[in-house]
Amino acid sequence: SGFENLRRLGIFDKIETVTVAPADYDSVHRALRVAEPDEVYNLSGQSSVGLSFQFPSETLESISVGNLNFLEAIRVIGRPVRFYNACSSECFGNISVAADGTTPFRPRSPYAVAKSAAFWQVANYREAYGLFATSGILFNHESPRRGIEFVTRKITDHVARIKHGLIDELRLGNIEATRDWGFAGDYVRAMWLMLQQDEPRDYVLGTGESHTVREFLAAAFSFVGLDWEQFVEVDPRYFRPVEVEALLADASKAEKLLGWAPKVAFSDLVK
């Protein structure tokens, strides 16, 4: 899927790729020897909270073992490689106020448990070995290239097909959940900024604004002049064993130290 995106963007031919199996230490070590990177951005691993309930072992292996292998290979190789780990707002679990760097983790899915382990691995390698290793605790970040297993693209994909008369309904799970949704491009800029600082630090990144799935639906259907309530069915099949009901970020530290603020607002994101 990564390569499809790169091909579609026309940049696949301009870059060199090395294939890595992150859960296999030798593979990671070899890739770092070959590429000799100055910076590593680890975005690998299971990325769907929903799927993590179906594949709990694969989730832990791909996220936590994968992350550990990068840290350990960087330590063993001994070159000054700067490391970014993709942590997640899911680590907070249910929160009633905006989460910042002092909010405790209470993970509620195999995905969030694995991401929490990876967060502490990064902190441990930073403390124990002085690695320039950081975690970005990112709230939901979306784009047209997001897979349709996520609710934003599932909605916009269905809206387009309903508008063109190809289908006539959209079945969803919990539409009362709230999320802090931002644009992926804004978050990638923040990841890069994190590795350009003098000190390695962890950052919470989000827009500070939250919306329900219902609000996302209403906005998406209204952009094509349709009323969502005529097309949407709530289907318990899409409910999760446990659900994070609400997520909201306090990204003031990133604003202050990185000079970062998201540029794309909710309604533009949906559009």
Binding site for ligand GDP (CB under 6 A): 49-50, 140, 149-152, 154, 172-175, 177, 179, 213, 238, 240, 243
Considering the complex, state which of residue 93 and residue 200 has its C-beta at the smaller distance from ligand GDP. Answer: 93
Q: 182 forms bridges with which residues in the sheet? A: 141
State the nearest-atom distance from the C-beta of 167 to ligand GDP, in Å. Answer: 14
State the nearest-atom distance from the C-beta of 254 to ligand GDP, in Å. Answer: 20
Q: How many CA atoms lie within 13 A of 198 on its CB side?
A: 1
State the nearest-atom distance from the C-beta of 191 to ligand GDP, in Å. Answer: 17
**Nearest-10 Cα torsion for 76, 197, 204, 147:** -70
Closest CA to 207 of 243, 254, 153: 254
Helix (H/G/I), strand (E/B), else coil: 62: helix
Considering the complex, state which of residue 35 and residue 51 has its C-beta at the smaller distance from ligand GDP. Answer: 51
Maximum distance among all Cα pairs of the chain, rounded to whole angstroms: 60
CB 210 within 8 Å of CB 178: yes
Considering the complex, state which of residue 24 and residue 245 has its C-beta at the smaller distance from ligand GDP. Answer: 245
CB 258 within 8 Å of CB 190: yes
Considering the complex, state which of residue 5 and residue 17 has its C-beta at the smaller distance from ligand GDP. Answer: 5
**Residues of 116-130 as b/e, b for ≥16 C-beta within 10 angstroms?**
bbbbebbbebbeeee
State the nearest-atom distance from the C-beta of 171 to ligand GDP, in Å. Answer: 7
Catalytic positions: 88, 90, 111
